[in-house]
Structure 1
C-alpha cells in the first residue's frame, strides 16, 4: 500500500493512503496486536554522474584483481547484492541515489572482505564515512591511504594500563605508521580538517573482534560501576 505524506510535525506524520483502509483490516494484519507500519521514503533523485563514476571505478578495480571481464564483474557483484539485500534489479543508468550509495558501499565491503586494492582517491568520497572508518578498523587498513594500519586511540590512554581502560568510551581510527606520525606532528584537529575524517566509537562486538576488550572485562567494568553507584 502506498501513501503521500501530507504533513510532518515532530515525530507525527500525516499520510493520505492511495486506497481505503479500515481498522478491521489493520487488526487482521496485526494479528490482534497494536498495528504498526514501516515508513519508507521513496528516493526520486537519479544516480549522479559522480556516483556512477565511483561505482565503475570500483568495478574496474575488482575486475583487474580477479581477471574477469568488467561486464561480468558488474553482473556478479549485482547478483551478490540482490542475494544479500533482497533488492530489485536496477540499472546504473537510471537507479536512484539511495540504491547507488548502497551498492557502492556493498562493493567497498566486498573489497575489504577479499582484500582487493582499490583506488585510494575514492576513499574521501565514500558515502558513509562512519561505515568506512569502521571497516578500516576491522580490516586494519589506513583510513587515509589504505596501507596496512594499526588501531589508533584518538582518545589518549596515557600511562594507564590498556587492560584496565573502558575502551567503549574511547574514539578510534585506523592509521598506518606514516599517517600516525602525521597526526602527532600536525595536531589532531588540523589532521582531521585536512583529510575530512572523524574518529569513531566501536561497538562491543567490534572491540571484541579486534581484541581490544573482552566480554569478561566489559562485564567486570559494568559490575564495578553498578557497585559504586
Structure 2
C-alpha cells in the first residue's frame, strides 16, 4: 500500500511504495514522475475505524453462529450488495472500489440490524478501558436500532429476548393518559421502547431522561406500517388502532388485516 508525504521545507513530495523491484526500476519511475502534474482527488471513503469495526462485528457474528470469518465477511458483503445494489466493493479505504463513508455507515447499521434479527447480541470490547460496550453505544442510527428491537421484541438495553423465562414489555415513553388511556392508543401519538422487566422497572424509578442518557437510547414514534407490523408482537397494545383497522380506517395503507 503506497502512501505519500509532503516535505514543504525541501519542496518535495515523497511516495513510499513497498516493493522488491530493483533500484534501477525505482529510479526510472522517479524520472518519469518528474514530468507529471500532480492532481489531488479527495475520496470520501470508508475510514480505518469503520473498517476495523466491520471486522470486529464479523468476528463476533461468526463466533456466535459457528461460521468462519472469511465466510461471514463475504456473506454480509453479498447480502448488503444485493439489498443496496452495490457490486464488488472493498472495505479497504485504499482501494479504488472502497465503500463511501455513507455506504460504510449503512453497512455497519445493516450488520447490527441483521444480527438482531438472527438473535445475535453484539458487544464491542473498548480498547482503552477493556470494557464491554453494548452495540447500542456505537450503532450509527439509534432509532433504527430501537425499531429493530421492537420488531424482534428484545430489550433495547441488554438484548434479552422475550420468552418463557423473560418478559419484554412495550414501554410507552410518553404518558399514555395524555391520549386518554390505553383504549385510545393507536400507537401513533406516543414514543416507544422495548424493555425487559429489569430495565422497565428502572426507567420508572429514575428520571426518564437520565435513563436515556445512561443507556444511549432514543424512544421512537411509529407510523401506520410499523404499528401494523407490531400487532402480533404486542397483542395487548394498540387497541384503538385494532378497532379502526377492523372498521376499514386504514384501507389503502394496510392491504390486509391480521
Q: Which moved more, 1:67-76 or 1:54-63?
A: 54-63
The question of whether the paired residues in 2 share the 8 Å contact of 1:112 and 1:139 is answered with: yes
**Does residue 113 of structure 2 align to residue 113 of structure 1?**
no
Other-structure match for 2:244: 217
Other-structure match for 1:144: 157
CA distance in 1, matches of 2:206, 2:43: 43
The question of whether the paired residues in 2 share the 8 Å contact of 1:61 and 1:117 is answered with: no
Superimposed CA distance per residue, residues 182-214 of structure 1 (whole angstroms, 9 cap, x where no aligned partner): 111111011112222211101212212212434
**Does residue 166 of structure 2 align to residue 135 of structure 1?**
no
The question of whether the paired residues in 1 share the 8 Å contact of 2:156 and 2:195 is answered with: yes
The correspondence of residues 48-59 of structure 1 with structure 2, limited to 5 A, is 48-59=47-58
- Bigger fraction of residues in helix: 1
CA 1:171–1:147: 2 relative to 1, 3 Å: same
**Does residue 83 of structure 2 align to residue 84 of structure 1?**
yes
Other-structure match for 2:69: 70
CA distance in 2, matches of 1:130, 1:111: 16
Match of 2:228 among 201, 208, 217: 208
Superimposed CA distance per residue, residues 23-73 of structure 1 (whole angstroms, 9 cap, x where no aligned partner): xxxxxxxxxxxxxxxxxxxx9323223322321122112211222210111
CA 1:216–1:185: 2 relative to 1, 3 Å: closer
Instruction: Tell me how far 1:86 sits from its aligned partner.
Output: 0.8
SS of residue matched to 1:84 = helix
Is there any run of 5+ residues in structure 1 with no aligned partner, and where?
1-42, 224-229
SS of residue matched to 2:82 = helix
Is there any run of 5+ residues in structure 2 with no aligned partner, and where?
1-41, 124-132, 162-167, 232-236, 251-258
SS of residue matched to 2:155 = coil
The question of whether the paired residues in 2 share the 8 Å contact of 1:143 and 1:175 is answered with: yes
> TM-score, structure 2 length as denominator?
0.63
CA distance in 2, matches of 1:127, 1:56: 16
Q: CA RMSD in A?
A: 2.5
Q: Number of residues paired by the alignment? A: 181
Superimposed CA distance per residue, residues 141-185 of structure 1 (whole angstroms, 9 cap, x where no aligned partner): 222211123211101224955233232111101111111111111
The question of whether the paired residues in 1 share the 8 Å contact of 2:46 and 2:104 is answered with: yes
CA distance in 2, matches of 1:65, 1:132: 20
The question of whether the paired residues in 2 share the 8 Å contact of 1:46 and 1:97 is answered with: yes
CA distance in 2, matches of 1:194, 1:48: 28
CA distance in 2, matches of 1:123, 1:60: 18
Other-structure match for 1:125: 138
